[in-house]
Amino acid sequence: MGIRMGLPIPIGMPTLGASLSTQSGLLFFAGTQDFYLRAFDSGNGNEIWKARLPVGSQSGPMTYVSPKTGKQYILLTAGGARQSPDRGDYVIAYALPK
């Protein structure tokens, strides 16, 4: 596919879920033990963005492109862990800039 990867990418925490790569060269990791969704540049491995999650995620991020607006979203689920049932479950979406 002609995509060059700047691996290895130090995430800082063990991952519990899958990653997501986009055609534009972004890598997303959400299933870490420190409750962050992180975005990396696949070309150089640099972390370019991160957001704190309300509770841990053990799933891989998903992507969706709106047929109406053409805007791309990164979605993930967080919660559902036996050790934190009182913190709730979430479906979270972030819009990518065009």
Task: Please give the pLDDT value at position 84.
Answer: 62
**Domain-embedded: residue 7:** no
The CATH number covering residue 78 comes to 2.40.10
- Note the pLDDT tens digit of each residue in 43-89: 888 999 999 998 888 888 999 999 999 999 999 998 876 666 666 78
Domain that holds residue 87: 19-95
**Domain-embedded: residue 39:** yes
**Domain-embedded: residue 83:** yes
**Domain-embedded: residue 2:** no
Q: How many domains, the chain? A: 1
Cβ 39 vs Cβ 48: under 8 Å:
yes
Confidence tier at 95 by pLDDT (50, 70, 90): very high
- Note the pLDDT tens digit of each residue in 11-34: 666 777 788 999 999 999 988 888
Cβ 78 vs Cβ 89: under 8 Å:
yes
**Domain-embedded: residue 1:** no
